[in-house]
Structure 1
Amino acid sequence: MTTLSPESAVRRHELAEFLRSRRERITPEQVGLVRGPRRRTPGLRREEVAHLSSVGVTWYTWLEQGRDITVSAQVLDAVARALLLDTSERAHLFALAGSLDPAPHTPCPSVTPSVRALLDQLGPIPASVQNSRYDILAYNATYGQLLGDLDAHPPEDRNCMWLAFTDPEWRASVVDLPGTQRTMAAKFRAAMAEHLAEPAWKTLLARLEGASPEFREVWARHEVVGQGAKAKYIRNARVGLLYLEHTNLWLGPGAGGPRLVTYVPLDAETRERLADLEALATVGSAPGPESEPTRSPEGVRLLTCGEVGASVG
């Protein structure tokens, strides 16, 4: 938790004004709300932002009034999402609040040029770099189309846990969805034991619990399991059923840091279909400027990352 310090009355005032200006610029239609005939408030109402952020109306009102209240990074993250803040605006919000952003958009130190080259050369084998929180830090063209169109998601949603429990296209691609979700939640719990106090982990957990009844059910089991290789079927919407072995190769010391994740074909038909998928991904439509990740010279999708457990030396 972060307390807005008493000496920063000016900062609290600036925070209040900033929140109000961002709220007033958003139309109800932008966030899926219906504009009523008697609406006089420009943009969203305070209670609408509170609802979208899953926080109390009184608390959000106090925040816009510049009161000296306690603010958590998780709540600021929710407010930033509700107000559709871009990268610069999000950084400004956390700076005014004197809080550490749990998901800063900074280049990931784990994805070195050699790792980018490896990802590209592994194609058509789907490959990505992930941290222990399941954030997808970089990926090649085939991985980007393996379980849906990964480029279509904003950077903060490119997380395997989030997609497996909330994204219809990703979920439809997983043949054994209940089993996969249960295993992923158990791996996430085991990994989180070393990161219990970190804002990025707590924020992701809160988002999952708020968005998915399925996640709440499996999380309540308190199951844990370590990382390991596993054969699995994936039903790709573009090339059909794929039989793959999921493998992990850790890029740093120990098994808690970033890892190279690959999906190796286990039969000839899958190898042919992965080659087709790579060709389709390479000639597919380019994503829009809002969602397009940075691209390396090799064509690997480079994302941003928050707090990575270990960087590549």
Structure 2
Amino acid sequence: MGGVDAGAGLRRDELAAFLRSRRARLRPLDVGLPDGIRRRTPGLRRQEVAQLAGMSIDYYIRLEQRRGPHPSRQVLMALARALMLNRDERAYLFQIAGESAPATTGPSREVAPGVRHLIDAMTETPAYVVDAKYDVLAWNRLAVHFVGDLATVPTTDRNMIRWMFRRPDSDRHWDDPDMLRFVRSSIADLRAAYGRYPGDRSIEGLVTELLGTSPRFARFWADHEVEVRRRIMKRVPHPEFGPLEFECQMLHVADADQRIIVYVPEPGSPTQAVFRRLVDRVGQSPGA
């Protein structure tokens, strides 16, 4: 049968090879384990994967040796988390194990270590990560000057869309054409996520809340504009340094359906000079 269990769809050879390859690509530090042990081969050890997945080392060894029982969906989900599989890899794991891939029920809130390292390395550029619902998940030091110190804000209230529509109608924010374009494009992107995740309670709850509290949001939502956010120019009045102008770039993290929002000033511009001055003022650690 070429390593395939008749009637079960389990491809033991491919499953074993896939697990070994995913294990070999990870370092202990990637999964929060100490890296002080000398290793003959790169990657995690079998017992480390078993520990992370919450299963016995014997059970995991049998999977890599093409033996043992058909893994359950719970076991596959645990392995996907332990091996830090992305969405496509997780779907493939389920397929070769003879199971249907689990549905994506809502926006991912897990920020990959590489994404965190990327925004932290942007020392002169404000950058933060949002999910498809526009919850802020991580931010760098300079972003604190624009989104606030979110370490002091409950995780349930770190939503950009909610912040936008808390501003009173008398706020000059609503008279700025650039800001209105930014708001409308964000709402269009939220509606796109609303379509990608039907039945997601978190997104539905946010939309229901804002429809009941903000007539302006209700008008924008009724337009049924759908658009995945892209770059846009922003002008922000800073209380100390005056108006700042920069390009708001949206970098998409495809496997997590997240966005890295980066404020990019023109080289040599007054805004770039302000960003560099702000760098020295930030003393807090990066968020989330």
- Do they fold alike, i.e. is TM over 0.5? yes
Q: TM-score, normalised by structure 1?
A: 0.51
Q: Which moved more, 1:243-252 or 1:123-132?
A: 243-252
Cα distance in 2 for residues equivalent to 1:151 and 1:124: 20
* Structure-2 residue corresponding to 1:5: none
For the Cα contact (< 8 Å) 2:185–2:229, is it kept in 1?
Answer: no
Q: Which residues in structure 2 correspond to 1:1-313 (within 5 Å)?
A: 108-112=109-113, 114-167=114-167, 175=176, 176-253=178-255, 257-267=257-267, 268-280=269-281, 282-283=282-283, 299-302=285-288
> Which 5+ residue runs of structure 2 have no aligned equivalent?
1-104
Is the alpha carbon distance of 1:229 and 1:177 closer, same or farther for their aligned partners in structure 2, counting shifts above 3 Å? closer
Residues 135 and 158 in structure 2, CA contact (< 8 A), matched pair in contact too: yes
SS in 1 for 2:261: strand
1:149 is displaced (CA, Å) by 4.9
2: CA distance between counterparts of 1:210 and 1:123? 40
Aligned-residue Cα RMSD (Å) equals: 2.8
Q: What is the letter of the counterpart of residue 250 of structure 1?
A: H
Q: Which has the higher contact order (CA 8 A, sep 6+)?
A: 1
Distance 2:249 2:132 in 1: 14
Distance 1:204 1:178 in 2: 20
The answer as to whether partners of 1:128 and 1:139 remain within 8 angstroms in 2 is yes
Matched-pair contact (CA < 8 Å) for 1:119–1:128: yes
**Aligned pair in 2 of structure 1 residues 206, 238: CA closer, same or farther (>3 Å)?**
farther
The corresponding residue for 2:82 is: none
Q: Output one character per residue of 1:214-259: Cα deviation in whole Å (capped at 9) or x when no partner.
A: 1011111111222211222122223321111111222234xx7012
Q: Would the aligned equivalents of 2:182 and 2:232 in 1 still touch at CA under 8 Å?
A: no
Query: Given the superposition, is the C-alpha separation of residues 148 and 301 from structure 1 closer, same or farther in structure 2, using an over 3 Å criterion?
Result: closer
**Alpha carbons of structure 1 residues 119 and 258: separation in structure 2 relative to 1, 3 Å:** same
**1:144–1:151 CA contact under 8 A, matched in 2:** no
Is the alpha carbon distance of 1:224 and 1:251 closer, same or farther for their aligned partners in structure 2, counting shifts above 3 Å? closer
Offset at residue 167 of structure 1 (A) = 4.6
Alpha carbons of structure 1 residues 117 and 137: separation in structure 2 relative to 1, 3 Å: same
Amino acid at match of 2:279: E
Aligned-partner residue type, residue 231 of structure 2: A
Instruction: Using structure 2 for the length normalisation, give the TM-score.
Output: 0.55
Paired AA for residue 110 in structure 2: P
Q: Could you list the runs of 5+ residues in structure 1 that have no partner in the other structure? A: 1-101, 287-298, 303-313
Identical-residue share of aligned pairs (%)? 28
In structure 1, give the amino acid aligned to 2:187.
A
- Please tell me whether Structure 1 or Structure 2 has the larger radius of gyration of its CA atoms: 2
User: In the TM superposition, what is the alpha-carbon distance from 1:145 to its structure 2 partner?
Assistant: 1.5
The change in CA–CA distance for 1:121 and 1:173 in structure 2 (over 3 A counts) is farther
Q: Aligned to 2:226, what secondary structure does the other structure show?
A: coil
Seen in structure 2, the aligned counterparts of structure 1 residues 189 and 240 have a Cα distance that, compared at 3 Å, is same
Contact 1:119 1:300 in 2 (8 A): no
